[in-house]
Amino acid sequence: MTKYEGIRLDGVGVTLGGTEVVANVDLDIAPGEFVCLLGPSGCGKSTLLNVIAGFVPATGGVFVGGHEVKGPGVERGVVFQSAEALFPWLTVRQNVEYGPKIRGASRSECAEISERYLRLVGLFHASDKLPSELSGGMRQRVQIARVLANEPSVILMDEPFGALDAQTREVLQREVDRIWRATGATIVFVTHDISEAILLADRVVTMSVGPRARIKTVAKVDLEHPRDLMDPRALALHRMLRDDIGSEVNKSLRAQGLLTEEAA
Amino acid sequence: MSVQGEVMTATREPRRRRPFLSRWPGSGAAMTVASIVGGILIWQLLSLRLPPLFLPSPRDTVLGAIELWQDGTLQMAILASSGRILVGWGLGLVVGVPIGILMGHFRWIRTLLDPYIEFFRFIPPIALVTLAVIWLGPGEMSKVALIFYTTVFLVTLNTLAGVRAVPELRLRAAASLGAGAVRTLWTVIVPSTVPYMVTGARLALGNSFLTIVSAEIVSAEDGLGALIWLARNYSRTEWVFVGIIVLGWLGYAFDRLLKYASMRLFARYGVNG
């Protein structure tokens, strides 16, 4: 079994093209914790995830399991929103075995690993299909299996279900919840969907709208899994997060001159 | 069965009336045949009114083709031209693809080669025929070199564009799965670029036909270009027509073959005609 690690962000700032998009973010994520970064588009939540993934350089310190992040690495698996991240010329099984092969797993080990994780995401029957033959939801399952097969210390998910229809999204949210509980993984999950965050997260982190985006609130979700979104406590939390994000959206609209005072 | 029928009817779009004559009655194949027969008919009618030295009739052309076939000239010409094209084009691919990949991947190589690419892309192979003959002699080498020149540019430029178009996401995915620079190049960038390479190869094959004719007209004893040119010496305009028509067919056949083969071989890389 993989050992999952914690994440620490220490005064993280990101400057892209001369604009400081994220400023001074501190965040501690415990091993095995599920944290959702929630906010409207443009709030820097994906940027922050890309910083942890090592795709975007940042000031301040990013640490995973005590080691400083200096670039992309196998100990941080990433599930992307777009299935373009899959290798379309490789079968489902070959996509999943891509990581294990690099770290030198033998052919039989690779087969064993891909079988285990494809079974976990319910796609073993489609092992020999190409990504183009799968539905959007199945492709995201392949991405999840591919990341799990690499046995990372943390899993980063960048709006993984943002491009799926509502029904498929709901099914996959339950799947991620189940997989998280089965593996004990540390997961950072970016979303703009409040229900999704409440359904999945131990803690929901909302961010203020950039430039100079920072963490606005951190809400603990103390509900047992699997969760019921109609639970009064979930509803209350939903309302609070909605108001919280809504004020940020309004602030951003006002800044762009798209919202007048009386409308607000 | 009946269920399937129902589903079919349910999903079929309501039939809309098309504007008058927006679609000719009859299938696509019938239209193609009609178009070709019509063309030959017009050709025949024109040839009735013009001297054969100016415009030989379709019948003269067929007879000329049979004549050239029987004494082996036509087969020799086809083989000679095809051979030059295939060798020059093949070498062009072998050299153009790696250059395109390296130029796309390494900025310093791109910067280094860019002035030459930008300059020579405006110089058509025909402009180099004389030089090719002076430097490489009137034999096979000069013709193959010109086809090679034609191919290398198109393949390099297309491959380069392909490398630049690899989705950033895919590179990021490879990096977080542990792929280093060399492995990413080999297992992500090269496969992602295959459709661009195929496009470059097809364009180059088409242009090779342009090049080969001019090269063979200037200096060759055999080949379709030479056939077209030498026919003039014998005042046999119908041989010119034979040469031109065979060129058209040959080019079409090569392109179809390449398209079919690349679709069969590279379908999973996103090559779809």
Domains of chain B and any CATH numbers:
58-269 (1.10.3720.10)
What are the chain B neighbours of A87 within 8 Å (beta carbons)? 170, 173, 187-188, 191
The pTM assigned to this predicted structure is: 0.83
pLDDT band at B11 (very low <50, low <70, confident <90, very high): very low
Which residue has 């009739």 as its token pair?
B57
Confidence grade of residue A250 (pLDDT, cut at 50, 70, 90): confident
* Comparison of pLDDT for A264 and A198, the residue scoring more: A198
User: Cβ of B17: how many Cβ atoms within 10 Å?
Assistant: 6
Residue type, B245: I
What's the pLDDT score for residue A194?
93
For the segment B177-198, the average pLDDT, to the nearest whole number, is 95
Please give the structure tokens belonging to residue A116.
């285990």
A159 class by beta-carbon count within 10 Å (0-12 exposed, 13-18 middle, 19+ buried): buried
- The pLDDT tens digits of the residues spanning A74-124 come to 999 999 999 999 999 999 999 999 999 999 999 999 999 999 999 999 999
| Minimal-distance CA residue of chain B relative to A103 | B178
| Confidence category of residue B6, pLDDT binned at 50, 70, 90 | very low
Tokens representing residue A22 in the block: 């994220």
Chain centroid to Cα A50, Å, comes to 10
- ipTM of this predicted complex? 0.90
Q: Tell me whether strands A67-68 and A76-79 are parallel, antiparallel or unpaired.
A: unpaired
Higher pLDDT pick, B230 / B1? B230
Contact A89 B188 (CB under 8 A): no
Calculate mean pLDDT across residues B98-118.
93
Residue located via tokens 């079968």: A91
Question: B242: pLDDT confidence band, cut at 50, 70 and 90?
Answer: very high
C-alpha to C-alpha distance for B265 and B195, rounded to whole angstroms: 11
Q: Give the pLDDT mean for B231-257.
A: 93
How far apart are the two ends of chain B, measured CA to CA in Å?
34
Percent of chain A with pLDDT over 70: 97
Q: Smallest Cα–Cα separation from B103: which of B196, B168, B29, B20?
A: B196
Q: In a mutagenesis test of the A interface, which of B176, B193, B194, B271 is the best target, namely the one with the most A β-carbons within 10 Å?
A: B176
Rounded Cα distance between B181 and A239, Å, is: 47
Could you report the per-residue pLDDT of B29-76, keeping only the tens digit for each?
888 899 999 999 999 999 999 888 889 999 999 999 999 999 999 999
- pLDDT reported for residue A40: 80
| Smallest CA–CA distance from B172 into chain A, residue | A55
Q: How far is CA B58 from CA A20, B39, B72, B194, in A?
A: 74, 11, 21, 42
The count of residues in chain A is 264
Q: Is A99 in Cβ contact with B177 (below 8 Å)?
A: yes
- Tell me the per-residue pLDDT of B128-150, one tens digit each, with 9 for 90 and over: 998 998 999 888 899 999 999 99
Average pLDDT, chain A: 90
